[in-house]
Amino acid sequence: MTTVAKAKSKSAEIRSRLTHPIIDSDGHTAEFEPAVFDYLREVAGPKAVERVKTFPAGPFTYRWHRLSWDQRRDERVTRPHWWVHPTRNTLDRATSTLPKLLHERLDEMGLDFTVIYPSMGLFGIHVGDDELRPALCRAFNKLNSDIYREYSDRMTPVAIIPMHSPREAIEELDYAVGKLGMKAVVMASFVRRPIPAVERSAPEMSRYAYWLDVLAMDSDYDYDPVWAKCVELKVCPSFHSPTAGIGFRNSISNFVFNHIGHFAASADAICKSIFLGGVTRRFPELRFSFQEGGVAWAATLYADLIGHWEKHSPDVLYRCDPAELDHKLLSELFLKYGDTYGELKQQPEAERSGLLWGTPEKREDLDEWARCGIKKREDIRDLFVPKFYFGCEGDDRLTALAFDRKKLPFGSRLNALYSSDLGHFDLPDMRDAAAEAYELVEHELITDDDFRDFVFANPVHFFTALNREFFKGTRVEGDANRLIASEH
């Protein structure tokens, strides 16, 4: 007897009317912990399992819950996620853990294909322990490769790639993609690193005084070998790093305060780093996706990059160059109009601040666009718009910004990817997956053609950018091939 209800869902009805598939670029699994631990024991031994269970910031310690309010205030312990996975619908809770059940139910969700991201694995990718982190990533990748292989016609899991060093990243890329055959990857968006001066003078404070390495700019390492390895293995990087608990998202009492915008914050940082660090210039074949942060931040970043070029590019810096100041005219104007300041209007130059009067700068330090080789406004468009893809959940009305040529510079459109977030609280009923996304059309926020790009064309372009065979053997292979053929 099947577990699944037979009544046709609204999502299934919508999908039956469409002439194209729906590809979900970001579903989630709720990992089955005993299986994770079984694979971790195989990779790193039983002690590694015990370390995970007692890891201070891990999902098993409930540290915040064990502290009093006074202790939370004293240590400023961030309010963590709670009740992430829907439970009232027991069928959905099981579906997020059991690939066979998910495979059976995809039609009622209106989905033809889904790319599966981890839940616990997003914690594992940022573990600060140099022995435990690679072992966890390896265990998750072996597990997911095994349990999803049978269902590869409708779903594929991402390999999780730690980024604490290029060597670590390359080793796991070679293993997960090269050996296991996984064809999608998610990378850490940033790495917490100790501040060297603090580590030398007060090593016990290093866990509080850290900086965030966003990999492509000002890093301790050159990550170009990682991007080159991605090209070699034909995988385009995606990023999906939590930032709740960092910076302003550090409430000790309110998860919602910490959660809103936290994926967008990490996406903005790594995207800006990749662009200004020149990665899209040096690796033109690569594409990058940023999951679960929407596209509003990307529209802002795109417009701001162009705005900053117009006001802060090498050709216009003379407007603010202190050497351009006419000191004789300035003195005359202060003498004539500075009565309010009395004798202070003849302020000596020694009292002038760098903020208001200009800091001493070397001209070679001022072209902050050199690494990405920007020479004109159009270069920003060409190195940003086709290179980046942005995961947007079905209920995000601001997804419409991606398709609004009137608002975006150069009449551009940004590459929005439909990302259901199935398995998490954002989608309380999995049967609503496609229906929730299609509301953008029903509410006249986007057109049917826009919707086709959102759920089909853009995912195909991203996943096949390096790997023309990405959808080979899947339910959407024929549609993907016809789309690519029609565009060439």
Spatial contact of 281 and 373, defined as CB atoms under 8 Å apart: yes
Distance of alpha carbon 32 from alpha carbon 137, whole angstroms: 15
Q: Is residue 324 part of a domain?
A: no
pLDDT over threshold 70, residue 391: yes
Per-residue pLDDT of 210-223, as tens digits, reads 999 999 999 999 99
Distance of alpha carbon 14 from alpha carbon 435, whole angstroms: 7
Structural domain count of the chain: 1
Which CATH number fits the domain that encloses residue 49?
3.20.20.140
Q: Is residue 192 part of a domain?
A: yes
Task: Give which of 233, 215, 208 is closest to 164, Cα–Cα.
Answer: 215
**Residue 204 amino acid letter:** E
Residue 347 is predicted with a pLDDT of 67
Q: Is residue 363 part of a domain?
A: no
Per-residue pLDDT of 155-206, as tens digits, reads 999 999 999 999 999 999 999 999 999 999 999 999 999 999 999 999 888 8
Task: Give which of 196, 122, 110 is closest to 429, Cα–Cα.
Answer: 110
Q: Is residue 400 part of a domain?
A: yes
Average pLDDT over residues 382-389: 98
In terms of DSSP H, where are the helices of 361-447? 377-384, 433-442
DSSP 299-342: HHHHHHHHHHHHHHSGGGGGGG-GGG--HHHHHHHHHHH-GGGG
pLDDT over threshold 60, residue 1: no
Residue 348 is predicted with a pLDDT of 63
Residue 350 is predicted with a pLDDT of 67
Spatial contact of 376 and 284, defined as CB atoms under 8 Å apart: no
Across the chain, mean pLDDT equals: 94
pLDDT over threshold 60, residue 5: no
Q: Return the structure tokens found at 157.
A: 């899991």
pLDDT over threshold 80, residue 264: yes
Residue 341 is predicted with a pLDDT of 83
Q: Is residue 54 part of a domain?
A: yes
Q: What is the pTM of this model?
A: 0.95
Q: Is residue 140 part of a domain?
A: yes
pLDDT over threshold 60, residue 153: yes
**What percent of the chain is modeled with pLDDT above 70?**
97
Q: Is residue 366 part of a domain?
A: no
Q: Return the structure tokens found at 377.
A: 């406004």
Q: Give the model's confidence band at 227: pLDDT under 50 very low, under 70 low, under 90 confident, else very high.
A: very high
Cα 412 to chain center, whole Å? 21
Domain range spanning residue 482? 10-311+372-486
Distance of alpha carbon 68 from alpha carbon 103, whole angstroms: 44
